[in-house]
Amino acid sequence: MRTFGAARWLPRTIAARLSLILFGGLLIAHGLSFSLLFYERYEAARSMLMSNVEQDVVVAVNMLDRLLPAERAEMLPLLRRRTFYYRLDAGEGGPPLADPNGRDVAQRIGMSLGPHYPLTTNAVRGDPGRFEIHAILRDGTAVTVDVRPSVMPIARWLPYVLAAQLALLLLCTLAAVRLATRPLERLANAAQSLRPTGDGERLKPGGPKEVANAVDAFNAMQDRIARYMRERLHILASISHDLQTPITRMSLRVESMEGAPERDKLLDDLGQMQHLVREGIAYARSAHGGEEPLVRLDMDAFLESLVADYRDIGKPVSFAGRSGAQANTRLHALRRIVANLIDNALKYAGEAEVLVEIGATRQVLITVRDHGPGIPDNELANVLEPFYRLEASRNRDTGGTGLGLAIAQQLADAIGAALSLRNRDGGGLDAVVQLPADAR
């Protein structure tokens, strides 16, 4: 599937992507609104400034012209403004004024003052926004208006208000995204805890219409899966159970065939059939492993006891590692899982090693290791399916029904554990059971 380049920098989670899109869009919209407001304020302030300059200069020039020369210098501080002030000299001079607003103001001032006060303008070198207006009073005294246009400074509290608005936008975005993605998170958690027996987490109904419909559909799906599994396993258990009687009768009849050349072969075939039937019953019963009551189990002591049982009957099984962990789990189901893995290692490798440790996520890791031929990587998932055998990679003479690992897998699902297989670099297979500290 083609991956678009624009998606590479996006966050991995839906919540983060929605937060980024919503907050980014709101931030851009807020920034545009603020920029337009600031620009409008700038234009209004500049227009007001030019209007004030026009009115003030007309009044000031007429006033200075009527004062005595000695009084004019005392009046200049009173006429000073924030953006312009008056000087009784020819000013600094400079190139012609290019700002159309400044030239327009000078023209209107000249029209208001009339021909009695000739005006000239110029820009100031090194300061593009600054310009000077020069007037000559009736007695020949030069008056310079030094104009330094600037909009009104931003209030000190305005950045704090802007920061508060952005923080409010971020909080609202996170709240909206959390409200929208929480049902997905609940649905994902419930799907992960889905079990074939139907005793997984059930979602509570309620919420918006779309969420309520999804919850009802998920709960109904869980019930259907549990019903289908129960029907399938009931059929398998019934067939396996009913086959035991005719197999037993056939075995009794074959045993009475003294001296028949096919007697031993028939007995061997019937024994394999009997073993297959028993494994089928065991597989059907393993789906109900989650119905066993929970017990508090010391993992180290439990595994030591299990390994000791194998050693007592002369099986080469060793135990290593210490976890110091206790877990709420189902004793008989867990014993069957580990025993099946040990039996599998003994069957195909001749020996087994049991290790226990605490994983990075504080889970109990039980590893059953062997030094046998291993399993091809592309078959690791298949061997966990019922009745699947690897005759090419395992010893064909050992036989087997292909249900040992499938039973372990189904029991692991039933008690909330996870079973995985991986090949070792030096040869052999690791079967790892991840058991949560609060397995249910």
Residues 341-387 pLDDT 10s: 998 889 888 899 999 888 777 788 899 998 888 888 888 888 877 76
Residues 162-172 pLDDT 10s: 788 888 888 88
> Of 287, 304, 338, which one is at a domain's C-terminal end?
287
List phi, psi (to 5°) of 122: -160, 155
Region for residue 96 given its phi and psi (left: phi exceeds 0; alpha: psi -120 to 50; beta: otherwise): beta
Question: What is the predicted pLDDT for the residue at 4?
Answer: 46
DSSP bridge partners of 355? 320, 367
**Distant-in-sequence, close-in-space partners of 108: CB < 8 Å, separation ≥ 6:** 54
What six digits make up the tokens of 76? 């200049």
What six digits make up the tokens of 132? 């000077």
Tell me the pLDDT band of 5, cut-offs 50, 70 and 90. Answer: very low
Tell me the pLDDT band of 10, cut-offs 50, 70 and 90. Answer: low
Amino acid at residue number 432: V
Domain-embedded: residue 383: yes
Domain-embedded: residue 160: no
**Distant-in-sequence, close-in-space partners of 233: CB < 8 Å, separation ≥ 6:** 283, 284, 287
Domain-embedded: residue 128: yes
Element (H, E) at 317: strand 317-320
CA atoms within 13 A on the CB side of 352: 27
CATH code of the domain covering residue 75? 3.30.450.300
Question: What is the predicted pLDDT for the residue at 158?
Answer: 72
What is the rounded CA–CA span in Å between residue 89 and residue 80? Answer: 15
Per-residue pLDDT, averaged over 299-323, amounts to 88
CATH code of the domain covering residue 314? 3.30.565.10
What is the rounded CA–CA span in Å between residue 241 and residue 73? Answer: 121
CATH code of the domain covering residue 203? 1.10.287
Amino acid at residue number 182: R
Q: Are residues 347 and 416 in the same domain?
A: yes
Q: Are residues 244 and 303 in the same domain?
A: no
Alpha helices in 320-399 (DSSP H): 331-349
What six digits make up the tokens of 249? 């009768």
Q: Are residues 31 and 134 in the same domain?
A: yes
Q: Are residues 357 and 235 in the same domain?
A: no
Q: Which segments within 95-152 are labelled E, that is strand?
A: 119-124, 127-136, 142-147
Q: Are residues 97 and 199 in the same domain?
A: no
DSSP bridge partners of 131? 123, 147
Rg (alpha carbons) of the chain, rounded to whole number? 45
10, 20 Cβ separation under 8 angstroms = yes
Q: Which of 260-274, 317-331, 379-393, 402-416 has the lowest mean pLDDT?
A: 379-393
List phi, psi (to 5°) of 150: -160, 140
The CA-CA-CA angle for residues 153, 158, 164, to 5°, reads 165
Question: Global pTM?
Answer: 0.47
Q: 323: domain range?
A: 292-435
Domain-embedded: residue 1: no
Q: Are residues 20 and 139 in the same domain?
A: yes
| Largest interatomic CA distance in the chain | 153
Residues 276-296 pLDDT 10s: 677 666 666 665 555 667 888
Pairing outcome for strands 317-320 and 352-358 = parallel
Element (H, E) at 354: strand 352-358
Whether 194 shows a pLDDT value over 70: the answer reads no
What's the count of helices (H) and strands (E) in the chain, helices before strands?
A: 9, 11
**Distant-in-sequence, close-in-space partners of 270: CB < 8 Å, separation ≥ 6:** 247, 250, 251, 254
Rounded alpha-carbon distances, angstroms, from residue 310 to 279, 352, 353, 365, 400: 20, 10, 11, 20, 20
Q: Which of 93-102, 389-398, 405-414 has the lowest mean pLDDT?
A: 389-398
Domain-embedded: residue 210: yes
Q: Are residues 278 and 329 in the same domain?
A: no
> Of 242, 265, 287, which one is at a domain's C-terminal end?
287
Rounded alpha-carbon distances, angstroms, from residue 122 to 94, 110, 129: 6, 14, 11
Domain-embedded: residue 185: no
Question: What is the predicted pLDDT for the residue at 425?
Answer: 81
What six digits make up the tokens of 265? 């072969």
Tally of structural domains, the chain: 3
Q: Are residues 276 and 337 in the same domain?
A: no
423, 374 Cβ separation under 8 angstroms = yes
Tell me the pLDDT band of 18, cut-offs 50, 70 and 90. Answer: confident
Domain-embedded: residue 91: yes
- Mean residue pLDDT of the chain comes to 78
Domain-embedded: residue 158: no
What is the rounded CA–CA span in Å between residue 328 and residue 167? Answer: 44
Question: What is the predicted pLDDT for the residue at 291?
Answer: 62
Tell me the pLDDT band of 2, cut-offs 50, 70 and 90. Answer: very low
185-188 contacts: CB < 8 A, separation 24 or more? 187/214, 187/215, 187/218
> Of 228, 263, 287, which one is at a domain's C-terminal end?
287
Q: Are residues 419 and 379 in the same domain?
A: yes
Q: Are residues 308 and 208 in the same domain?
A: no
Q: Are residues 260 and 306 in the same domain?
A: no
Q: Are residues 325 and 273 in the same domain?
A: no
